[in-house]
Amino acid sequence: MTDLDIAEVAHRAGVPASTLRFYEEKGLIASIGRRGLRRQYDPGVLERLALIGAGRTAGFSLDEIGRMFAPDGQPRIDRQVLAAKAEELDRTIRELGVLRDSLRHAAACPAPSHMECSTFRRLLKAAASRAAAGARKRTARRS
């Protein structure tokens, strides 16, 4: 397969050319040269962009994704990091499930005011408790 210019890569990967330039600045991808003013890429960049996209969808930062590639550009993905992210996603899914159920309850609650509904107040208290715990975790990580 022949080299691809930035417009073709952007089109095939479904990202704007500005994203490709940004990823290049971050060291996530590399062009192989230029043809005129247009950057050229090896076709393998499309697979790398797919991995970057999957990582972003899973919630990894660009820095975390960058560490998933060896110096030679080949994927070097730590399985423990993947397992930890899967656990984090499981927690998020559980929390979102509770939030979804809370919203459904609030939408259908027959109480004249949500604040008069004991179920709603219990859900509100639980949400406040989770938010406070999350804030404590973020503060502890910064220390």
Cβ atoms within 10 A of the Cβ of 28, count? 22
Judged by DSSP in three states, 39 sits in: strand
CA dist list (Å): 44 to 4, 47, 81, 116: 10, 6, 24, 59
Domain 4-66 falls under CATH 1.10.1660.10: yes
Q: Supply the pLDDT for residue 1.
A: 61
Q: Using one digit for the tens of pLDDT, what is the confidence trace for 83-113?
A: 999 999 999 998 888 888 888 888 888 888 8
Does the pTM of the predicted model rise above 0.95?
no
- Sequence length of the chain is 143
Q: Supply the pLDDT for residue 22.
A: 96
Q: Supply the pLDDT for residue 143.
A: 64
Contact between residue 10 and residue 45 where contact means Cβ atoms under 8 Å apart: no
Cα separation, 69 vs 21, in Å, equals 18
Q: Using one digit for the tens of pLDDT, what is the confidence trace for 15-61?
A: 999 999 999 999 999 999 888 888 999 999 999 999 999 999 999 99
For the chain, which residues make up each domain, given as ranges? Answer: 4-66, 79-133
